[in-house]
Structure 1
Amino acid sequence: MVPSVTAAHSLLNADERAAIAEIEATTSILQLVTRLTGMRFAGIAKFTDLEWVVCSAYDPLEMGINAHDVLDLETTLCSEFCINPQALFIPQISQNGRFAVRPVVKQFEIESYAGAPIFLPDGRLFGALCALDSRAMLFDDPNLPETLSLFARLIGCIFFANLTTPDQ
């Protein structure tokens, strides 16, 4: 006999259920991002003052970027959100002198990038939602920047809900 969802639910405490929901929600969002952009990697990264920390990655391309990896923030394309917090699309990085020289581009052989900053509901910049590929991409959907930004906002709300405890 298969236990019911209600029985399984009662075996998990609230923190465990929240963690599972966060993982499932963010994984689904990352899969949707790859479908919408046509790119083969999507990830969520948190920023510290100096570091870019991978929270979650969907990597069927096997780029080698994994959850909990840490890079120097200034070497990443996502660091642009610290300067200009708007969605960023780079269809062919090798043709863009400003971005082609970034160490992360060479390290992971990145040719295209799509990203949006993740803000928490209280206005703090949390990190970035990004999609990467080793192929050049055309970003011809005029709704893509807004859609990616909406996903980033949803991720910010998910993380904020789990960062906030009743005694805060």
Structure 2
Amino acid sequence: MDSHEIALHSVLSTDERSAIAELEATSAILQLITRLTGMRFAGIAKFTETDWIVCSAYDPIHLGIECGDTLELEITLCSELRKDPKALFIPKISEDGRYSNRPVVKRYAIESYAGAPIFLPDGRLYGALCALDSRPMLFDDPCLEGTLTLFARLIGCIFFASLSPDGN
């Protein structure tokens, strides 16, 4: 550690240092996801029984989805991950009748989607790691599904470490 890090370490509590590290880690992961997918938005969302809540977002194209935003879970593309908890890729939503009429697609002009479920180490489904774009996207990298799933697993571990003992 350099002298700046030592000084910072001494004035910040363990919880504060943990929160900063979590923020930096998730921000870096979201930027990597946009590079890997070629998409211009990446986010992490938590699921409740009825809601999709944005925990973190990387939005250089200003889609308008921000940290803290809440949507009805069933109108989101990520809700599909609750039904079938594996990575989902939709290269051209406008040509896929299962997804093209969802209000969230129209509201944010989403044309392509990539998402993976985030599981906590204890097996609970926490939410989703997703990438979105207003352009159609080719998902031709055979390693993309595995890579997205690994990042979702890492995020689950990061979030699990910061959860309170009562699981919230």
Q: TM-score, normalized by length of structure 2?
A: 0.96
- Structure-2 residue corresponding to 1:99: 99
The one-letter code matched in structure 1 to 2:126 is: F
Partner of 2:116: 116
C-alpha distance after superposition, 1:109-166 (max 9, x if no partner): 000000000000000000000000000000000000000000000000000001155x
* Gapped regions of structure 2 (runs ≥ 5): none
Cα deviation code 1:61-94 (max 9, x no counterpart)? 1000000000000000000011000100000000
Q: Any residues of structure 2 matched to 1:24-63 within 5 Å, and which?
A: 24-63=24-63
Rounded to whole Å, the distance in 1 between the matches of 2:100 and 2:149 is 24
Aligned residue pairs: how many? Answer: 164
The Cα of 1:3 is off from its aligned counterpart by 5.7
Aligned partner letter, 2:93 = I
Query: Which one-letter code corresponds to 1:152 in the other structure?
Result: A
How far apart are 1:4 and its partner, in Å? 1.9
Identity among equivalent positions (%) equals 70
Q: Distance in 2 between matches of 1:144 and 1:38?
A: 11
In structure 2, the residue corresponding to 1:39 is in which secondary structure?
coil
Match of 2:130 in 1: 130
The AA in structure 2 aligned to 1:40 is R
Counterparts of 1:131-146 in structure 2 under 5 Å? 131-146=131-146
In structure 1, list runs of 5 or more residues that go unmatched. Answer: none
Counterpart-to-counterpart distance in 1, 2:148 and 2:88: 10
TM-score, normalising length: structure 1: 0.96
**Residue of structure 1 in register with 2:15 after alignment:** 15
Q: 2:99 and 2:75 mapped to 1: Cα distance?
A: 10
